[in-house]
Structure 1
Amino acid sequence: MISFFEASLKQLSIHHTGNKLLEEYYKLSDAPLKIDDEVLGNLLMQYFLKPFEKVNEVYRFYHPNDNLELNEVFHFVHEIFENNELFHEDSQQLAKHLYDVANHPKIKSGELYVAYFEKVQIEGEQLDVVGVFKSETKDTYLKVYPEQDGFNVSYEQEAISINKLDKGCLIFNVDKEEGYKVVVLDQSKSSNDSAVYWKDEFLKLKIRNDSYNQTSNVLGVYKNFVTQKLDDDYEISKADKIDLLNRSMKYFKEKETFDIEEFGNEVIGNAEGIESFKNYKKNYEQEYESPIADNFEIAESAVKKQARAYKSVLKLDKNFHIYIHGNKDMIEKGYDDDKSMNFYKVYFREEE
């Protein structure tokens, strides 16, 4: 969805932010970085932009008081878009703001990069972009080089891999009144405060409520409904659960638009189950304050991503895995009294 084959890096400022809970400090540079080396410029473009090539979710800036100007990152980025002469000054303010919100002892110190790009493409439109990135992970690299009649080896510690961007966001100069278009990246593996501060505390983002998000949410809600909620209300086998998931994925792959009534009739198939799903969806919307329309265009990219999480494997002890892709009537479950064990009977026409 994001491409940068015509993009160019126009400005870059680098600062350092520590963790004030650990009595670390921030250090601001006095001026933007001058990039005269073409190879270095290309490496920086790869480091900053390539990780976003497969990012699909688009976010918006927001503030809990519904006043966008109170969102610090929105405010400073808006100033940069309006007056590029303020770029470095506002990059310093962004570094200070990041330092102020780093309120967890496990938040790592690192370099903060603020960049200005031209001609970055999102959803078919080329736009100016402010990028904000943070590097936290450092590596040691070996360098082998010729020396006399052989080779020698040196190393560099505390170096940054151009293939490991820790945190970043791209803010596109469009839809200002709605909070811009923003894509975000955070490689943190944990879900504690040290991981969520980038998106929630520093940037303050909410997901854009478009077809991608609607598609992804419905598939996610339906998966949780089948795998978790149905057990509370019905006795349902794992094979039947897999069949329900397969039918929903088939619906989303074949249809261009989602209609909740059509989906309920074609996928769930009984009135009680349909009503239970609608209530489950409604509770999700209220709990997460994320409304999902009853009708919307299906985003193919969201379907592909969710398909990876839809499991069609029936695991039987540690002996067998049965992959169920089609008609559930071709598999029957039973119980063998003599062996005191469950069994499945599988019907097929040809063996491959």
Structure 2
Amino acid sequence: MVTFFEASLDTISVHHVGNQSQSEMYSLSDNPLELKDDIIPNLLMQYFLKPFEKANEVYHLMHSSGDLALNELHNFATKVFDDKEKFHEASEQIAKHLYKVTTHPNIKGGELYVVYFNKVQIEGNPLDAIGIFKSENKETYLKVYPDKGGFQVDYEQDAININKLDKGVLIFNIEKENGYKVVVVDKTNGGQDAAVYWKDDFLQLKIRNDSFNQTNNTLGIYKNFVTQKLDDQFEMSKADKIDLLNRSMKYFKEKETFDMDEFAGEVIVNPEAIESFKNFKSQYEQEFDSPIGNTFEISGNAVKKQARDYKSVLKLDKNFHIYIHGDKELIEKGFDDGRSMNFYKVYFKEEA
């Protein structure tokens, strides 16, 4: 999704943003950071951009009123993309805006880096991008160095691990009228209440309704439907539910395009259950204002992501786990009167 093999770091400004609920202040630098050699920019590029290589979700900036002009980050980004001479001034405004929304007591203060990049690729398109990154967690590092024919050990406190970016966002100079293309990293800490401030309060994002998100949402909705909703209408064993989940995952792995009627006929089959799923999906779309088409291109990356959460394990007390990957007809459930216990009978040809 995001690559940076041609990218370069153009300008960087660093500020400090505290938590106003803890009576902390913010501190602004007078000028952009001076980078005196090639080593520091390369380390910063790794620190800032590498976490985005696995980012699949693309967002847009938005405002709850529907008026994009009221989104602060959209205004700041537009100012810089229109006139790069205003970069440092905009970075100061970004720091002040972040301080304004940093009100939850569990939010940590930290350094804020605002960066202008050239030729960062998103979806194969090299673009200028504004990066905003916050460093909240510091670590202690040991340093070993030669001394007097041997070695000495020293340490450095409050150092930054360049392999652990806490929070970051890239705003790409494309689709301005839609709120730009935006990708985000957020290593949540401080609980759920503190977590929303980066995406919801500071950036104000809405997810782009592309093939990745339509695939991801449909698989997520179907999983919730099978595991939570079907019990209200049908008597189903856990093995039956696992079979339904396996069949849906098989459909998404084998097909290139999702078709609601085809999916319903091949995977769900039961007419009442099909109608129930369509209603369940419609309720999700209305509640989250996130319409999903009845046909869309299936995203392989979204399927891989959801496959990690699709469980095919039948847990029986604390004694046995049965992994169901194929034909459900090869497993039978029964009840032993003599032992007053349930049992499963499994058919197979040979042991692996």
Per the alignment, residue 172 of structure 1 pairs with: 172
Cα distance in 2 between the residues matched to 1:213 and 1:328: 30
C-alpha offsets along residues 148-170 of structure 1, whole Å, 9 cap, x if unaligned? 11100110111110011100001
Aligned partner of residue 80 in structure 2, secondary structure: helix
Cα distance in 2 between the residues matched to 1:248 and 1:228: 16
TM-score by length of 1: 0.99
Cα distance in 2 between the residues matched to 1:283 and 1:190: 31
1:231 to partner: Cα distance: 1.4
Aligned partner of residue 27 in structure 2, secondary structure: coil
The one-letter amino acid paired with 1:236 is: M
The one-letter amino acid paired with 1:53 is: E
Cα distance in 1 between the residues matched to 2:339 and 2:192: 47
Per the alignment, residue 201 of structure 1 pairs with: 201
Asked if 1:181 corresponds to 2:181, the answer is yes
C-alpha offsets along residues 86-113 of structure 1, whole Å, 9 cap, x if unaligned? 0000000000000001121111100110
1:192 to partner: Cα distance: 2.2
Report 1:148-167 matches (<5 A).
148-167=148-167
Cα distance in 1 between the residues matched to 2:147 and 2:154: 12
Asked if 1:287 corresponds to 2:287, the answer is yes
C-alpha offsets along residues 203-233 of structure 1, whole Å, 9 cap, x if unaligned? 0000001111100000000000001111122
Contact 2:106 2:190 in 1 (8 A): no
Aligned partner of residue 53 in structure 1, secondary structure: helix
Per the alignment, residue 348 of structure 2 pairs with: 348
Report 1:114-263 matches (<5 A).
114-189=114-189, 192-263=192-263
C-alpha offsets along residues 10-50 of structure 1, whole Å, 9 cap, x if unaligned? 00000000111111000000000011221111100000000
1:305 to partner: Cα distance: 0.8
Per the alignment, residue 336 of structure 2 pairs with: 336
Report 1:48-63 matches (<5 A).
48-63=48-63
Cα distance in 1 between the residues matched to 2:95 and 2:277: 45
Cα distance in 2 between the residues matched to 1:121 and 1:36: 26
Contact 2:19 2:105 in 1 (8 A): yes
Per the alignment, residue 92 of structure 2 pairs with: 92
Report 1:297-316 matches (<5 A).
297-316=297-316
Q: Which runs of 5+ in 2 are unaligned?
A: none
Contact 2:107 2:190 in 1 (8 A): no
Per the alignment, residue 324 of structure 1 pairs with: 324
1:318 to partner: Cα distance: 1.3
Contact 2:8 2:119 in 1 (8 A): yes
1:189 to partner: Cα distance: 4.6
- CA RMSD in angstroms comes to 0.8
The one-letter amino acid paired with 1:125 is: N
The one-letter amino acid paired with 1:73 is: L
Aligned residues: 352
Aligned partner of residue 63 in structure 2, secondary structure: coil
Cα distance in 1 between the residues matched to 2:149 and 2:60: 59
Q: Which runs of 5+ in 1 are unaligned?
A: none
Cα distance in 2 between the residues matched to 1:234 and 1:135: 50
C-alpha offsets along residues 288-316 of structure 1, whole Å, 9 cap, x if unaligned? 11111111111111111111110111111
TM-score by length of 2: 0.99
Q: 1:240 to 1:304 in 2, by over 3 A?
A: same
Per the alignment, residue 266 of structure 1 pairs with: 266
Cα distance in 1 between the residues matched to 2:93 and 2:189: 28
Aligned partner of residue 54 in structure 2, secondary structure: coil
Q: 1:279 to 1:189 in 2, by over 3 A?
A: farther
C-alpha offsets along residues 105-143 of structure 1, whole Å, 9 cap, x if unaligned? 111100110001111111111111100000000111110
Q: 1:291 to 1:48 in 2, by over 3 A?
A: same
The one-letter amino acid paired with 1:193 is: D
Cα distance in 1 between the residues matched to 2:191 and 2:198: 12
Per the alignment, residue 18 of structure 2 pairs with: 18
Instruction: Work out the percentage of aligned pairs sharing the same amino acid.
Output: 68
